[in-house]
């Protein structure tokens, strides 16, 4: 039963984008500066999904992996700017922009000189996951020591940060696992089904977080 659900998610999980984008549109006028970057993140995901599926439909033999390299860079850019805006002066404001620029440079080097634009960018994706996990844990630490609310679950940052932590931590595990089961197509499908489930959780959490965007 669980196996069937995971495999089913592989084909239909992308539609959860409709949920998170709809919530963002409804609450758009309440979005703070940091939440605007989540909006850009959602638009990037929608554009990537539509363009990739369209290209695959009209040009079945076309290798769309170059788009994945670009997507990873833009995805990290928006997530990094989201955290940069949220952290404010919690630590040296120059550090995170340097990390973002450094990641972009490494991702470009990986795309053109290491793994190539026509192969999966496993190195860049793995590095992105590690950095976002660290940022999400640091975000929870900031929330803990400041304790500026008695109801953290009604704050957008709680849900959005939780979504990023679950997604990138889980994706890193799935990525490591997939390297060991690469020759077993069934287990590999289940692993990517788990990734689809993580995507579902991410967008549900993003939607819930954006719904609370009217709270300061």
HSE-CB at 122 with a 13 A cutoff on CA atoms is: 10
High-pLDDT (> 90) share of the chain, %: 62
Question: Please, what's the b/e burial string for 63-78 (b: 16 or more CB within 10 A of its CB; e: otherwise)?
Answer: eebeebbbbbbbbbbb
Q: Rounded to two decimals, what is the model's pTM?
A: 0.92
Closest CA to 25 of 215, 216, 207, 182: 207
Question: Range of 104's domain?
Answer: 2-211
**pLDDT above 90 (res 168):** yes
**pLDDT above 70 (res 185):** no
**What tokens were used for 123?**
């190195």
Confidence of residue 3 (pLDDT cuts 50, 70, 90): low
Q: What local confidence, expressed as pLDDT, does residue 188 receive?
A: 67
As a whole number of angstroms, the distance between CA 96 and CA 98 comes to 5
The count of structural domains within the chain is 1
Torsion angle of alpha carbons 14, 184, 63, 51, nearest 10°? 0
As a whole number of angstroms, the distance between CA 60 and CA 137 comes to 41
Q: What local confidence, expressed as pLDDT, does residue 189 receive?
A: 73
As a whole number of angstroms, the distance between CA 213 and CA 211 comes to 5
Q: What local confidence, expressed as pLDDT, does residue 120 receive?
A: 84
Cβ contacts of residue 112 below 8 Å, gap of 6+?
none
Taking only the tens place, the pLDDT of each residue in 48-103 is 999 988 988 888 888 989 999 999 999 999 999 999 999 998 888 999 999 999 99
Closest CA to 195 of 125, 139, 135, 136: 125
In a domain? residue 216: no
As a whole number of angstroms, the distance between CA 4 and CA 186 comes to 11
As a whole number of angstroms, the distance between CA 125 and CA 68 comes to 10
As a whole number of angstroms, the distance between CA 211 and CA 26 comes to 8
In a domain? residue 86: yes
Q: Which residue has the tokens 């940091």?
A: 34
């Amino acid at each position: 039963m669980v196996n069937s659900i995971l495999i089913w998610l592989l084909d239909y999980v992308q539609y959860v984008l409709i949920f998170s984008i709809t919530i963002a549109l409804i609450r758009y006028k309440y979005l703070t500066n940091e939440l605007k970057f989540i909006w850009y993140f959602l638009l990037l995901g929608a554009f990537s999904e539509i363009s990739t599926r369209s290209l695959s439909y009209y040009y079945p033999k076309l290798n769309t992996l170059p788009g994945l390299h670009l997507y990873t860079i833009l995805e990290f850019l928006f997530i990094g700017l989201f955290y940069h805006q949220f952290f404010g002066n919690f630590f040296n404001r120059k550090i995170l922009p340097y990390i973002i620029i450094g990641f972009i440079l490494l991702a470009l080097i990986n795309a053109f000189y290491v793994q190539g634009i026509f192969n999966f960018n496993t190195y860049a994706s793995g590095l992105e996951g590690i950095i976002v996990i660290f940022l999400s844990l640091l975000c929870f630490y900031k929330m803990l020591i400041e304790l500026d609310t008695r109801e953290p679950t009604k704050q957008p940052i709680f849900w959005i940060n939780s979504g990023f932590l679950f997604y990138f931590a889980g994706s890193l595990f799935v990525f490591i696992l997939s390297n060991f089961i690469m020759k077993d197509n069934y287990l590999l499908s289940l692993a990517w089904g788990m990734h689809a489930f993580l995507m579902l959780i991410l967008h549900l959490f993003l939607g819930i977080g954006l719904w609370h965007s009217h709270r300061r």
